[in-house]
Amino acid sequence: MARFTGKTVIVTGAGSGIGQAAVERFASEGANVLAADLNTDAMKDFDGDKVVAHQVDVSKLDQVEAMVKAAVDRFGQLDVIVNNAGVLCEGTVTEVSLDDYRKVMNINVDGVFYGCRAAYPELKKTKGCIVNTSSISGLGGDGSMVGYNMSKGAVTQLTRALARDSGRDGVRVNAVAPTLVHTNLTAEMNEDKPLMDAFAKAIPLGRGAQPEEIAAVIAFLASDDASFVHGHVMPVDGGLNGSNGQPDSSEF
């Protein structure tokens, strides 16, 4: 397939996991890709004619605006932005540190908002689209992850609200809502065999997802194959039923 030939895509959180897989998927389908991440070492293999690495702190609006400008300056236009950068945050409302709470909100919420805001004028020109990375944690609720749940709930509602406004400009907005994905972000969880066994038991397909499986859904939502999909937050959860959130670790 070459669904993105001649199109320009920005992917944040591109240094690992879902973001890295998305960069590779878009590039394989012909896109010019600006691969953006705070960790430039993680993107050292990305530089080339079609894929360009760019350092960004998504919690800083001026850096996000500079990221969008860099993509347009390099490739001439912007057709897709994938707001994927995110961090985890554990703890109940009384246990989570305020520093961790602020960090997860600054990256997971402000970073997505800034990406949408900065990219929108360029996407309006190309009738492009936005794909945000939410989570089934933003559709249901998890034990001892109040900050993360709040942040992904905000991404879910931002996606829906922006879609109500952007349709008139021809800019589509959607999100993916994965369950457990085997990435560096979940590496510590992956080492907990009882926890992984419980996830496998709870998920009807019997396992967590690979980053490439989430990237495939992101590419679909960004493509013309999804030309009438708008304002949708798509659970990608192996049949877990995302509206109920993740399996409750307190029950393991």
| Domain positions in the chain | 8-236
Residue 26 — pLDDT band, cuts 50, 70, 90?
A: very high
pLDDT for 240 beyond 90: no
The radius of gyration computed from the CA coordinates of the chain, to the nearest angstrom, equals 17
Look at the pTM and tell me if it is higher than 0.85: yes
- How confident is the model over 83-123, as pLDDT tens digits? 999 999 999 999 999 999 999 999 999 999 999 999 999 99
Q: Which CATH architecture has domain 8-236?
A: 3-Layer(aba) Sandwich (3.40)
Question: Is 114 designated active site?
Answer: no
Catalytic residue among 101, 114, 120, 148: 148
pLDDT class of 251 with cuts at 50, 70, 90:
very low
